[in-house]
């Protein structure tokens, strides 16, 4: 989401709502590809914005 860092951040924060206690990101049962999508999105957001507060939040 180039040029829309706040919208990108809000979208990525949505991933956290689908994270399970074991660390997986599941939006649907048996759909195990969410983890890689969430991690990729988090890392790209930090790479582009250098938002340290977001990075610290994502690592908790």
pLDDT in tens, the chain (60 residues): 567 888 888 888 887 887 888 888 877 788 878 888 888 988 999 999 999 999 998 887
**Dihedral of the alpha carbons of 5, 10, 11, 17, in degrees to the nearest 10:** 150
pLDDT at 20: 84
**Does residue 56 belong to any structural domain of this protein?**
yes
Q: Could you list the residue range(s) of the whole structural domain that residue 44 is in?
A: 1-10+32-60
Residue 51: CB atoms within 10 Å: 15
Is 26 part of a structural domain of the chain? Answer: no
25 SS3 class: strand
Q: How many domains does the chain have?
A: 1
Q: What global pTM score does this model have?
A: 0.73
User: Per the domain annotation, does 5 fall within a domain?
Assistant: yes
């Amino acid at each position: 989401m180039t040029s829309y860092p706040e919208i990108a951040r809000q979208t990525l924060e949505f991933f956290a709502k689908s994270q399970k206690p074991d660390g997986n990101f599941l939006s649907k049962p048996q759909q195990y590809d969410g983890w890689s999508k969430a991690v990729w999105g988090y890392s790209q957001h930090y790479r582009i914005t250098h938002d340290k507060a977001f990075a610290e939040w994502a690592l908790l």
